[in-house]
């Protein structure tokens, strides 16, 4: 009977005194380079146990003796930015011994970014090129484009300026450790470039013909055609789509145009543009192969629907006037029936 009672008492005592293994851990503040890192022992000891030795390895060399023996809080200024391996070792009075290493961040930012000077109403790519510590996705990037627009985040924003001039662009970078660094740069925005494309002749012609495409001399710094030519004018004799790019300083703009060639002359080839300015070139609106496809019944209307030309036997003589007065530069709508009685409709532009 006595042995049985003794056994029961022992079981109760054991159940009320659980053994918890040492859980070793510490925290470290993430700071900006030049500031003090605070390291705090967060370890959990077994019940009734206490620390006999607590030692730190602050330079990651495997030697626990950089800060000694009982300090649970350590203040350390690291002499270089970056990732530092820090270790903590604990030995308790009950004989438990454990060590742990963790990565401690000391943030550093050297702000840099790039862009190309641009033009009004042209999107400009800005690219962050900052030198930082750690994962760039943990950092915050804030852009001020200097034109009163909202601040923008991200590493590669695109911005469009609506007024020419010089602007101060500022990139501010903030680290998880509250490092804050910024850099201003000046960007120059040029005026918007408009392409003044003209033609000496029509963009629709019979095979064997040609048209001269040109820009007025002296307006642009550089000119580039899709043909590779850099002159202010080119002669086009083949059908296709072409473009011209004009430059003023760092700004440029493009304009494309289509050339149509009637190989056989069996359908009306109708001018889509003429320039009745009295210079003797392109002053009349023509059906270029009228001799082959005539007679042609022609009607032309303004944008507002007013009939400005009606001729049942057109003779290529219209000079862009209506009731003796010159019509305004604009787009007009034609309806043409020639020998085959097929209705052709399209637009013709008056440009003086």
* Inter-residue contact 26 to 88 (CB < 8 Å): yes
Using a pLDDT cut of 70, give the percent of the chain over it: 92
Domain extents in the chain: 19-107, 109-190, 193-263, 265-352
Residues 262-314 pLDDT 10s: 765 677 889 999 999 888 888 999 998 888 888 999 999 999 999 999 999 99
Strand pairing report for 240-248 and 233-236: unpaired
The third-level CATH classification (topology) of the domain covering 193-263 is Immunoglobulin-like (2.60.40)
Beta bridge partners of 41: 26
Give 191's DSSP letter: P
- Which tokens is 258 given? 């289509």
SS3 116: coil
**Do 19-107 and 193-263 share a fold?**
yes
Better pLDDT: 9 or 124: 124
Nearest to 55 by CA among 79, 38, 36, 74: 74
CATH of 19-107, picked from 3.60.21.10, 2.60.40.10, 3.40.50.720, 3.30.499.10, is 2.60.40.10
What dotted CATH number matches 109-190?
A: 2.60.40.10
Q: How far is CA 321 from the centre of its chain?
A: 48
Better pLDDT: 340 or 103: 103
Distance CA 331, CA 263 (A): 27
* Inter-residue contact 81 to 71 (CB < 8 Å): no
Distance CA 28, CA 211 (A): 76
Name the pTM for this structure. 0.56
166 to 113, 122, 162, 188, 340: CA distances (angstroms): 17, 15, 12, 4, 62
Q: What is the predicted pLDDT for the residue at 15?
A: 41
Peptide bond into 263 cis (omega under 30): no
The third-level CATH classification (topology) of the domain covering 265-352 is Immunoglobulin-like (2.60.40)
């Amino acid at each position: 009977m006595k042995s049985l009672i003794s056994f029961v008492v022992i079981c109760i005592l054991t159940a009320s005194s659980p053994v918890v293994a040492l859980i070793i851990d510490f925290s470290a503040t993430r700071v900006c380079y030049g500031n003090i890192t605070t390291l705090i022992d967060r370890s959990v000891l077994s019940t009734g146990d206490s620390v006999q030795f607590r030692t730190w390895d602050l330079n990651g060399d495997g030697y626990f003796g950089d800060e000694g023996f009982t300090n649970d809080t350590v203040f350390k200024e690291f002499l270089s930015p970056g990732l530092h391996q820090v270790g903590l070792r604990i030995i308790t009075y009950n004989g438990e011994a454990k060590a742990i290493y963790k990565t401690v961040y000391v943030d550093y930012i050297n702000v840099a970014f790039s862009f190309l000077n641009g033009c009004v109403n042209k999107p400009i790519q800005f690219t962050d090129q900052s030198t930082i510590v750690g994962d760039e996705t943990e950092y915050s990037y804030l852009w001020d484009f200097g034109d009163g627009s909202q601040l923008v985040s991200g590493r590669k924003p695109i911005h469009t300026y609506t007024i020419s001039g010089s602007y101060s662009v500022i990139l501010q970078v903030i680290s998880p450790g509250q490092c804050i660094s910024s850099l201003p740069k000046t960007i120059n925005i040029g005026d918007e470039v408009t392409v003044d494309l003209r033609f000496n002749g029509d963009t629709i012609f019979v095979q064997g013909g040609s048209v001269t495409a040109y820009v007025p001399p002296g307006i642009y710094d550089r000119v580039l055609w899709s043909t590779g030519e850099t002159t202010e004018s080119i002669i086009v004799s083949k059908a296709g789509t072409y473009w011209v790019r004009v430059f003023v300083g760092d700004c440029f703009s493009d304009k494309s145009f289509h050339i149509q060639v009637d190989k056989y002359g069996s359908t009306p080839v109708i001018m889509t543009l003429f320039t009745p300015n009295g210079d003797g070139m392109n002053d009349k609106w023509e059906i270029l192969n009228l001799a082959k496809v005539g007679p042609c019944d022609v009607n032309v209307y303004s944008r507002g629907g007013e009939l400005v030309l009606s001729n049942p036997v057109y003779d290529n003589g219209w000079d862009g006037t209506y009731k003796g007065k010159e019509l305004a530069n604009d787009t007009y709508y034609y309806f043409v029936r020639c020998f085959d009685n097929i209705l052709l409709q399209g637009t013709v532009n008056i440009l003086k």
